Amino acid sequence: MTPDFVAVGHLTLDRTPGGVRPGGAAFYAAVTAHRLGLRVGVLTSFGSDFSTGALPAGVEVVNVSADHTTIYELKPLSAGRQLTLHARGADIEASRLPEEWREAPLALLCPVANEVDPAFATAFRDASVGVSAQGWLRQRGSGGLISVQEWEDAGLVLPHVRLLVVSDEDVAGLEKSALEWFQQVPLAAFTEGRRGAQLFVNGERYRVEAEPAREVDAIGAGDVFAATLLIEYDRRNDPWEAAAAAACAAAAKVEAVGAAAIPDRDALEARLAAYRRRRGG
């Protein structure tokens, strides 16, 4: 069966101060889409040490086999976090996309370690394609330490997608380039953690206020935001409502460890209604 939503990117093992757990943008995006009621497929690459049992039952996984699963160490800093890449799965080429998945209506390209072929931007026949570009903006240095790099393939991707999401951490030092990217897509979001996000609608900038949250674990919040924004933009055809829903979903996610608090449809709608009331809308 053709999925409603396809996530493309590595499922990872994240070493955190609280222990090792499943992660990666594709993981958080897939859980988000599943909890919002969509049929979900994940095209990924991992080794024998990753268990797909970490994903909800019913999520279909196509794995490009690899000797290693991508392993990140995430070290909290006073401002942001330090990422160290210890192992990496295989590259994911567009030719590995199952034929029936090319008919999916929604797709999120969400690399974490430069693993996703830019050709995926045109691999889906009639999908609303979103991009969470973080993994195309990372370079691996000495000891696996991650730093920011220019997005060399932006020109191959952006003309073909509906949505772009990056964080302030992703583009530190590349803000001028990011502003140029935002002009090339119908909808873009620049997330700023607890400060909310900036939304770009056909290049025009708007402010998205953060939803209050009792933060326990922020890892994956930006991925939940990106997946929700893509899903709700397609569902509502209203970028501002979609962004409000994304802010609410991300806030819910940070209130528990891992993917435990990512909201289902009813919980998201209830939180979004309260968000609107607080803002007089």
Contact 134, 116 (CB under 8 A): no
Mean pLDDT by groups of 10 residues along the chain of 281 residues: 96 96 98 98 97 96 98 87 96 98 98 98 97 97 96 97 97 96 97 95 96 95 98 96 98 97 98 92 63
CA angle 22, 23, 27 (to 5 degrees): 105
- Say what the pLDDT of residue 78 is: 73
Residue 105, token pair as written in the block = 């209506």
- Judge contact between 113 and 1, C-beta under 8 A: no
Give the tokens for residue 1: 């069966």
3-state class (DSSP) for residue 274: helix
Residue 110 CB contacts under 8 Å (≥ 6 apart), including other chains? 7, 8, 9, 24, 25, 26, 29, 116, 131, 132, 134, 135, 223, 226
User: How confident is the model at residue 281, as a pLDDT?
Assistant: 63
